[in-house]
Each structure stands twice: as structure tokens, then as C-alpha cells.
């Protein structure tokens, strides 16, 4: 009997052939936007093995349902990232305990669903912020940008943190709330086999719209690591945000070393006060040296291309989260990983 085209595709095992150099290497993971079966299949076809999902709300059922869809396409869930209910934890207000309880139950559900990483940030009032969503990059592709002088036009690019009430918060208060957050969650995370990976403040300013920012330097990440030696206390090395800090990327990867448990791969041109994002292969950072540094520190965790340019035909997409640029970024990253592995 002759198989039809679709049946032939469906009967072909995902990631059937994995060359030897992938065995002890990083895990390619991706955010999937829009979250469709076609996009899941597309990622699986190009060699991506894991996905990063947004927090889908409380309860195990939704996580299990997403897992079923992801597994059907030959992929695994590496991490939950974004849309976490932790705004009142950051502000340390009367809803602190309620949100801690929701996070503890998330960690338990992640254990049930076999999801090993949760990526969070400690920016109060906003998520990542930009003042420009359509800056021109190579060939007229669109990238996002930031200019502190135009901060009143800033857009927070995450639905959960738009229009938050604007109570000011100091750096000292944020450190206190962070410490309480870690004291509550790290023991549970450890027991559940989940790692918390802190994402830096983007942009890494000292203060923004009346709120202090604390995860804005290499030293503050070292301080975070000193708060607890739990193996569940990890770092999400968002390369683009560290580049905004103006630090040497490969040297910083080596400096933070094994505390880096999750990686966002991306680059920018400029400074933390004024920058634009770039194509992954078109920024000032030596991306080969960065990948080499991840290999030197023995990093085998999930790595994902972070924000990507919006390419022709994708002008209406979610800034930073369209598909075509992501395919290009993965191809480039795969080449760098193989190259770095072999020399
Ligand atoms: C962003 C964020 O820079 C980024 O990675 O796209 O939405 C990110 O997912 C959250 O800030 C992580 O906590
Ligand atoms: Mn990032």
C-alpha cells in the first residue's frame, strides 16, 4: 500500500537523525508564537527539540494539555517563561502570600508535567520595554529599539504588566522582596526538581518610571547567587540584555559560569540608554566566541533565540516574536554550535 504524503510525514520520527555533536550539547528551545501545530512541526523539522511556553494560568490540566500537543510534534517543554503572577511579590504588598502560593503550586505542577525550568524577572511595573518597535535593520527588516530620552513613549511588551498601578519601589525594597521570594520558593523548587532562572532587567537601567531596577549588572547577578547556594537558584543569561550593560559577553559567560542555566541568544547595537536590536549575525558581539564560552563552562541547558527581526510579510506580527527571523536565527546558531564543538 502506498502512503499518502501526510501519512509519510506523520510516520517519520521527529529528530530521527541527531549528529553526534548534539549529544552533549545545548538544547535548542523556542517560544512558539503563534502557538499552532504547524509552527510546532516547523520547529521540529528544523532540528529544534524543546519549547518554552508562557505561563498558562493555574492548574495542572492546561499544562498537561499543552504538553500533549508539544509531544505529539516530537518536542519537549524546556521551560515556562513570561506572564508569571509575581507583580505583587515584587512590590511586597498584601497580595504577596497569595502569589507565593500560586507559584508554589506552579512548581508542583511543573514537577508533575516534567518541566525543569522557570524563567522569571524582577522588573516591577513593566516587562521588557522599548520606545521603538519598527527600527530598520538589514534590508528594511524591523527591530525594536530603546531611547531613554523618549521614555514617555515606552511600551511594555508583555500583556501581564501593561497598565499596572504605579506605586514607586526602591532598590532596597526590591532586594528585600526578592530575598523573601527566594526563601519561600527555592526549597519547593529544589524538591520539585525545578530551577528558577532570573532574567535581567531589560533595559538594565537603575530606575525606570519611578521604580528602581536591581537586576541590571553583572555584580547584581553575583549578589543574587550569594543570596542562596541552592542549585535551584539560577541565571537566565539574556545575552542581548547583558550586551546593553556594555560588558564583554564571552568573558561574562565565563565569569557567571555554572550559574547560567538558561540562555537567551540575541544582540544589540548601542548602550543601555539608547540601542537597537540586530539580526543575530549582524551585531557587534562575537557570537562564535559566545557559543564557545557556553561550551567552555559546560552549559548543556536550554538556549533560545530571543527577540528576532520582523521580516517581509510579517509586519503585523508580535514585535520580537515572529517566525521567519527565528528560523534564520536557529540556522545560524546551529552552525555556530557545530563549529564551536569541532574546534
Ligand atoms: C522578553 C521577556 O527579553 C525577553 O526575553 O521577551 O518577555 C521575557 O520572556 C521575560 O522578561 C522573562 O521573564
Ligand atoms: Mn531575554
120-176 confidence digits (pLDDT tens): 999 999 999 999 999 999 999 999 999 999 987 778 787 655 555 567 999 999 999
Return the top range by mean pLDDT from 4-18, 160-174, 279-293.
279-293
Alpha helices in the chain (DSSP H): 5-11, 37-45, 60-72, 87-91, 96-113, 171-192, 218-227, 239-244, 249-256, 287-296, 324-342
- The reported pLDDT for the residue numbered 164 is 55
Q: How far, in Å, is the centroid of ligand 2 from the Cα of 326? A: 14
With 0-12 / 13-18 / 19 or more C-beta atoms within 10 angstroms meaning exposed / middle / buried, residue 68 is exposed
| Distance (Å, whole) CA 257 – CA 224 | 14
- The reported pLDDT for the residue numbered 160 is 55
The protein residue whose alpha carbon is closest to atom 1 in ligand 1 is 128
Whether residue 185 is predicted with pLDDT greater than 90 in this model: the reply is yes
Torsion of CA 294, 332, 217, 272, to 10 degrees: 170
On average, the pLDDT of the chain sits at: 94
> What are phi and psi for residue 246, nearest 5 degrees?
85, 15
- The reported pLDDT for the residue numbered 166 is 65
Select from 52, 80, 82, 144 the residue to mutate for testing ligand 1; criterion: most ligand atoms less than 8 Å from CB. 82
Q: Is the separation of the CB atoms in 202 and 241 below 8 Å?
A: yes
The protein residue whose alpha carbon is closest to atom 13 in ligand 1 is 120
Whether residue 231 is predicted with pLDDT greater than 60 in this model: the reply is yes
- The reported pLDDT for the residue numbered 16 is 54
Closest-lying ligand 1 atom to the alpha carbon of residue 127: 11
21-342: which CATH topology? TIM Barrel (3.20.20)
Q: How far, in Å, is the centroid of ligand 2 from the Cα of 121? A: 10
- The reported pLDDT for the residue numbered 21 is 74
Q: What is the DSSP letter of 163?
A: T
Whether residue 12 is predicted with pLDDT greater than 80 in this model: the reply is no
Considering the entire predicted model, what is its pTM?
A: 0.95
Closest-lying ligand 1 atom to the alpha carbon of residue 264: 5
Nearest residue to 22 via CA among 342, 338, 339, 343 = 338
Q: How many CB atoms lie within 10 A of CB 47?
A: 16
End-to-end CA distance of the chain: 47
Q: Is the separation of the CB atoms in 302 and 79 below 8 Å?
A: yes
Select from 33, 121, 307 the residue to mutate for testing ligand 1; criterion: most ligand atoms less than 8 Å from CB. 121
Q: Tell me the pairing of strands 233-238 and 260-265.
A: parallel
The protein residue whose alpha carbon is closest to atom 3 in ligand 1 is 128
Q: How far, in Å, is the centroid of ligand 1 from the Cα of 202? A: 8
Whether residue 4 is predicted with pLDDT greater than 90 in this model: the reply is no
- The reported pLDDT for the residue numbered 153 is 75
Nearest residue to 324 via CA among 216, 151, 316 = 316
Closest-lying ligand 1 atom to the alpha carbon of residue 306: 5
Size of the chain, expressed as the number of residues it contains: 343
Average the pLDDT over 44-58 and give the result. 97
pLDDT tens digits for range 72-85: 999 999 999 999 99
Nearest residue to 336 via CA among 293, 277, 307 = 293
Residue 193's contacts (CB-CB under 8 Å, 6 or more residues apart) are 111, 116
Whether residue 313 is predicted with pLDDT greater than 80 in this model: the reply is yes
Select from 29, 81, 103, 317 the residue to mutate for testing ligand 1; criterion: most ligand atoms less than 8 Å from CB. 81
Ligand 1: residues with CB < 6 A are 81-82, 119-121, 127-128, 158, 199, 202, 238, 264, 306
Average the pLDDT over 276-281 and give the result. 98
The protein residue whose alpha carbon is closest to atom 10 in ligand 1 is 82
- The reported pLDDT for the residue numbered 167 is 79
- The reported pLDDT for the residue numbered 134 is 97
| Distance (Å, whole) CA 204 – CA 211 | 12
Alpha helices in 162-246 (DSSP H): 171-192, 218-227, 239-244
Least trusted range by pLDDT, from 165-169, 174-178, 183-187, 265-269: 165-169
Amino acid at each position: 500500500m502506498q502512503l499518502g504524503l501526510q501519512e509519510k510525514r506523520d510516520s517519520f520520527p521527529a529528530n530521527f537523525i541527531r549528529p553526534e555533536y548534539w549529544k552533549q550539547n545545548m538544547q535548542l528551545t523556542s517560544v512558539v508564537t503563534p502557538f499552532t501545530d504547524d509552527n510546532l512541526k516547523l520547529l521540529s523539522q528544523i532540528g529544534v527539540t524543546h519549547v518554552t511556553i508562557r505561563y498558562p494560568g493555574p492548574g495542572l490540566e492546561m499544562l498537561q494539555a499543552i504538553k500533549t500537543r508539544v509531544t505529539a510534534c516530537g518536542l519537549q517543554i524546556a521551560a515556562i517563561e513570561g506572564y508569571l503572577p509575581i507583580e505583587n511579590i515584587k512590590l511586597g504588598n498584601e497580595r504577596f502570600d497569595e502569589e507565593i502560593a500560586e507559584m508554589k503550586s506552579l512548581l508542583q505542577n511543573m514537577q508533575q508535567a516534567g518541566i525543569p525550568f522557570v524563567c522569571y524577572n524582577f522588573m516591577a511595573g513593566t516587562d521588557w520595554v522599548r520606545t521603538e518597535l519598527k527600527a530598520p535593520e538589514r534590508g528594511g527588516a524591523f527591530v525594536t529599539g530603546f531611547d531613554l530620552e523618549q521614555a514617555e513613549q515606552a511600551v511594555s511588551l508583555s500583556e501581564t504588566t501593561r497598565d499596572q498601578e504605579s506605586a514607586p519601589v526602591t532598590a532596597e525594597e526590591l532586594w528585600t522582596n526578592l530575598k523573601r521570594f527566594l526563601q519561600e520558593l527555592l526549597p519547593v523548587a529544589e524538591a520539585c526538581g525545578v530551577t528558577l532562572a532570573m532574567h535581567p532587567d531589560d533595559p538594565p537601567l537603575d530606575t525606570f518610571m519611578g521604580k528602581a531596577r536591581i537586576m541590571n549588572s553583572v555584580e547584581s547577578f553575583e549578589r543574587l547567587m550569594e543570596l542562596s547556594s541552592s542549585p535551584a537558584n539560577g541565571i537566565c543569561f539574556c545575552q542581548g540584555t547583558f550586551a546593553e550593560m556594555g560588558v564583554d559577553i564571552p568573558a561574562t559567560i565565563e565569569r557567571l559560569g555554572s550559574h547560567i542555566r538558561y540562555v537567551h541568544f540575541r544582540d544589540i547595537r548601542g548602550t543601555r540608554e539608547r540601542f537597537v536590536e540586530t539580526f543575530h549575525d549582524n551585531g557587534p558581539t562575537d557570537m562564535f566566541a559566545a557559543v564557545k564560552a557556553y561550551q567552555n563552562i559546560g552549559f548543556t541547558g536550554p538556549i533560545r533565540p530571543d527577540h528576532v527581526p520582523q521580516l517581509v510579510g510579517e509586519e503585523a506580527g508580535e514585535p520580537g516574536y515572529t517566525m521567519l527571523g527565528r528560523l534564520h536565527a536557529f540556522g545560524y546558531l546551529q552552525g555556530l554550535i557545530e563549529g564551536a564543538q569541532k574546534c
